[in-house]
Structure 1
Amino acid sequence: MNPHMSQRPPAPGGIRRVYALVGIVLAVMWVGETTEPAWAHGLRTVVLLLTLPPLLLPANRRLTAAFHTAARPGPALARLIAVRVLIVTAALAANALLGHLLDPHSGHALRALAVRVLCVLLTIPLQIRAAHRSRARGVHPSARPTLSAPRVIGAKLTLVTAALLAQLLLNPYMANAQLAIAAALAVTVTALGPAIHARLLIAPAAGPSADPAAQERSEARATT
């Protein structure tokens, strides 16, 4: 019997909460530049999607595995969270720089960046709690399916393209088309995200960390 088949899937309620949070974040980012042309906002969003998942997902996977097998979890968790925050902050800063290049007269790009970075920092306690809970379960990350960067990018590019086209069509008829599209993004991601989540995952790759002995050592560390 495959030892990975016995592990429980993520709780549906947890997946729904994650996608509800993602929907809110996308909506806030979409409405964050109300004075920006739709094409420029769409371009910046696409650039962010093309750069963030390929950097964040592999680093997160590698450092999460190191945290699960570390004899001293504290420093490993600190590295994991620091790298996450650094990558997201760098992507947001590059996104803000692109916005400034597209519209040099915009005066609130720095304030918007500061607010977004502050929101990232406020997630640190939640990251710590989630990491300790995951380690306590004793299942090594290599034994769990993981998000595929190309699939995530494809799904989000489809969503952003649809939102951009909808906003371009609504702009002549609605004074607050951007707000309507932001609300639609939040509702769509919250409603459809859990349904397509499994399609964004790839099976765990076979490797040394998937060895039963390594798994037992990981579980032993998790109980100490």
Structure 2
Amino acid sequence: MMVQQCDYATLSQMFQRFQAANPEPQGELHHTNAFTLLVAVALSAQSTDVGVNRATHDMFQIADTPAKMLVLGEDALIDHIKTIGLYRNKARNVIRLCQILVDDYDGQVPSSRAALQSLPGVGRKTANVVLNMWWRLPAQAVDTHIFRIGNRTGICPGRDVNAVERAIEDHIPAEYQLHAHHWLILHGRYVCKARKPMCGTCIIRDLCPFEDKNL
């Protein structure tokens, strides 16, 4: 049985606490511009942020624009990212999206979800991360952490990622929408963990309906 959606007052209290603890939450993927952010997020699928940062550290110093990435080439790109999952397919997509950015967008990363999702290897989650982190739009990228804690805590329950995204947009107060995705990811990554949630140190434990708290 799916947990019940938290009410407005409870959500307001939860996000007041998230905001007080971390007023300006930041993503953990290293980037210097919209392009390096887009590439980093695309590479992060089924990989850790730490692994992606390690793989892109040297690469972004020599290829931080679509044109420079095309000069680097697919083989050299593979050498840089071969430590992360699905690296061959990801390298192919990065080169293809770079060519499209150069040909169709004057080398710039587009700022609409539809245009972003038209690029090879860029799905809705990747597009939403770029829209949120670079253009500071209240776009909600639902990953495994958000899906898990949304359904565990009642913050944003849903049967699939699209339903969870809608729950965030429909129920979380507007003043918290911009940073909601980062607060939830960080909470899921470091506190409300999959196997052993750290309920004893959780700042919203008294508001959370999860019955099997790890205290």
Fold equivalence (TM over 0.5) = no
User: TM-score, structure 1 length as denominator?
Assistant: 0.28
Structure of greater relative contact order (alpha carbons < 8 Å, 6+ residues apart): 1
Name whichever structure is richer in helix by fraction. Answer: 1
